[in-house]
Amino acid sequence: MTDIHKRDVDALSGVETTGHEWDGLKELNNPLPKWWLYVFYACIVWAIGYWVVYPSWPLLSSYTTGVMGNSQRADALAALEAGKAARAELGTKLIDASLADISSTPALLDFAMANGRAAFGDNCAACHGSGGTGAAGYPNLQDDGWIWGGTLDDIHTTLKYGIRSGHSDARIADMPAYGRDGLLEKDQITQVANFVASKTGLETEAGVDLAAGETIYQENCAACHGEDLKGLREMGGPNLMGANYLYGKSLAAIKAQINNPRMGVMPAWEGRLDPATIKSLAVYVHSFGGGE
């Protein structure tokens, strides 16, 4: 038993001190209500219950899983499944709807755009860029230059069967290697390249016979690129009059392309992506703004 007379009581407040003193400052003992203490104990009990029920303690190579088998990973997978199920209805509608119908139905358009955006990032962005602007040698989908056509149907066909993809319905255009295969002399290549350059606003080399170049062009190139150089889509011949060239717009680049042409491959996505996704991609790419 402590002797009550020895207790230190603060004179001003009449409250007993805890006996702790720091440089003359004494701590008053205003006891906390007991229920605070019980709440603290209850929290400890709750924490132990939590350990039992939920995953909590890390072990060397695993962790305690808890009796309820709760797993955020499983929850996330279930949420993904639920999302898929929720998308199923609109996805079916998308497959049945014509491309024009999709564009004019806000609900389908929103769905196709969202679906297309995700699929584009996963499958197309590697070559065409995350914004669809392409890269050197990879077509820009944002602008108005379309080698094979920029309508919804054209884009859909290109997506489905690809270009030089090996698919039996693939779009195929094959530019002869005029230099490498010896189809044209070096001088002739210089002439035709200068002719194209002169038509499309590039500087030409001095002393080159442009008339001869035009003749060579009309005999060899016009079949695919058109007599007016504006390209022929049914042949897959690119427009040479535009501002944007796939492999660079310069005299040297034109010469290089005539000498030993580069031709890219677009994979056929039929079979790799489901029809609804391919349709969504067509709508999404078309919505970039270059679509016709």
Partner 1 sequence: MRVEPDAALGGNEPEEWFASAKKIYPMATHGTFRRIKWALLFITLGIYYFLPFIRWDRGPNAPDQAVLVDLEGRRAYFFFIEIWPQEVYYLTGLLIVAALALFLMNAIAGRIWCGYLCPQTVWTDLFMWVERQIEGDRRDRIALDKAPMTFSKFAKRVAKHTSWLMIAWWTGGAWVLYFSDAPTLVYELATFQAPWSAYLWIAILTATTYLLAGFMREQVCIYMCPWPRIQAALTDEKALNVTYRWDRGEPRGPLKRNKELAEQGLPAGDCIDCGQCFHVCPTGVDIRGGLQLDCIQCGLCIDACDNVMTKVGKPTGLIGYDTDENIQRRLDGKDPIYEIVRPRTVIYAVVIALTGAIMLYALLTRDFAGISALHDRNPIFVAQNDGSIRNGFTVRLMNKRTHERSFLLNVEGMPAGSRIEAVGIEHYFEGRPYVVVGPDQTREIRVLVSSPAGAKLDPSTPITFRLTDTVMGEVVTTKDFFKAP
Binding residues for partner 1, per CB under 8 A? Answer: 2, 5-8, 16-23, 29, 31-37, 103-104, 106, 109-110, 113, 129-133, 140, 142-145, 239, 241-244, 287-290
Query: Least CB distance from residue 11 to partner 1, whole Å?
Result: 13
The nearer residue to partner 1, 35 or 59, going by C-beta atoms, is 35
Query: Least CB distance from residue 105 to partner 1, whole Å?
Result: 8
**CA pair distance 48, 45, nearest whole angstrom:** 5
**CA pair distance 162, 160, nearest whole angstrom:** 6
Check if the beta carbon of residue 152 is closer than 8 Å to that of residue 291: yes
Query: Least CB distance from residue 197 to partner 1, whole Å?
Result: 17
The nearer residue to partner 1, 7 or 272, going by C-beta atoms, is 7
The nearer residue to partner 1, 179 or 238, going by C-beta atoms, is 238
The nearer residue to partner 1, 189 or 196, going by C-beta atoms, is 196
Query: Least CB distance from residue 142 to partner 1, whole Å?
Result: 4
Residue type, 89: E
Query: Buried b vs exposed e over 72-93: b needs ≥16 C-beta within 10 Å?
Result: eeeeeeeeeeeeeeeeeebbeb
The nearer residue to partner 1, 92 or 104, going by C-beta atoms, is 104
**CA pair distance 107, 112, nearest whole angstrom:** 9
Query: Least CB distance from residue 35 to partner 1, whole Å?
Result: 7
The nearer residue to partner 1, 7 or 262, going by C-beta atoms, is 7
Query: Least CB distance from residue 271 to partner 1, whole Å?
Result: 29
**CA pair distance 266, 166, nearest whole angstrom:** 10
Check if the beta carbon of residue 195 is closer than 8 Å to that of residue 214: yes
**CA pair distance 231, 222, nearest whole angstrom:** 8
Check if the beta carbon of residue 251 is closer than 8 Å to that of residue 202: yes
Q: How many residues does the chain have?
A: 292
